[in-house]
Amino acid sequence: RDLVSAGSRSEADAIMRAMVNRQPGDADRVYAYGLYLSGNNQDEMALAQINALPRGQWTDNIRELEARLQSDNVLRQANQLRDSGQEARAIALINQQPTSVRYALTLADWAQQRGDSQTAIAEYQRVLGQQPDNGDARLGLAEVYLADGDKNAARAQVAQLKGEDIDSINMQRRIAQAQAGLGDRAQAQQTFARIVPQAKAQPPSMESALVLRDAARFQAQNGEPQQALEGYKDAMVASGVARERPQDNDTFTRLTRNDSSDYWLKRGIRSDAADLYRQQDLNVTLEHDYWGSSGTGGYSDLKAHTTMLHVDAPLADGRMFFRTDLVNMDAGSFSTKSDGSYSPSWGTCGEIACTGGSKHQSDSGASVAVGWKNDTWSGDIGTTPMGFNVVDVVGGLSYSSDVGPLGYTVNLHRRPISSSLLAFGGQKDNPNDGHTGKTWGGVRADGGGVSLSYDKGEANGVWSSLGVDQLTGKNVADNWRVRWMTGYYYKVINEDNRRVTVGLNNMLWHYDKDLSGYTLGQGGYYSPQEYVSFSVPVTWRQRTENWSWELGGSVSWSHSRTKTEARYPLLNLIPSQYRHDASQLTEEGSSSSGVGYTARALIERRVTSNWFVGAAVDIQQAKDYTPSHALLYVRYSASGWQGDMDIPPQPLVPYADW
What's the pLDDT tens digit per position in 184-218? Answer: 999 999 999 999 999 999 999 999 999 999 999 99
In the predicted model, what is the mean pLDDT of residues 131-148?
Answer: 93
Please report whether residue 231 resides in a domain: no
- Domain count for the chain: 1
pLDDT recorded at residue 6? 46
Q: What is the pLDDT of residues 143-198, one digit of tens each?
A: 999 999 999 999 999 999 987 778 899 999 999 999 999 999 999 999 999 999 99
Please report whether residue 251 resides in a domain: no
Q: How many other β-carbons are positioned within 10 Å of the β-carbon of residue 321?
A: 18
Please report whether residue 176 resides in a domain: no
- Whether 418 and 657 have beta carbons less than 8 Å apart is answered as yes
pLDDT recorded at residue 452? 98
In angstroms, rounded to a whole number, what is the distance separating the alpha carbons of residues 416 and 439? Answer: 17
- Can you give the pTM of this predicted structure? 0.88
Handedness of CA 600, 257, 173, 225 (dihedral sign): negative
In angstroms, rounded to a whole number, what is the distance separating the alpha carbons of residues 134 and 124? Answer: 9
Transcribe 61-95 into DSSP letters: HHHHHHHHHHHHHHHHHHHHHHHTT-HHHHHHHHH
Is pLDDT larger for residue 99 or for residue 492? 492
- Rounded to 5 degrees, what are φ and ψ at 440? -145, 160
Please report whether residue 505 resides in a domain: yes
pLDDT recorded at residue 17? 67
CATH number of the domain that 320 lies in? 2.40.160
Give the range of the structural domain holding residue 523, as residue numbers without chain letter.
Answer: 283-657
Please report whether residue 7 resides in a domain: no
pLDDT recorded at residue 626? 67
Half-sphere exposure for 110 (CA within 13 Å, toward CB) = 21
How large a percentage of the chain has pLDDT more than 70? 95
The angle formed by the CA atoms of residues 567, 656 and 591, to the nearest 5 degrees, is: 35
Please report whether residue 343 resides in a domain: yes
Please report whether residue 651 resides in a domain: yes
Please report whether residue 456 resides in a domain: yes
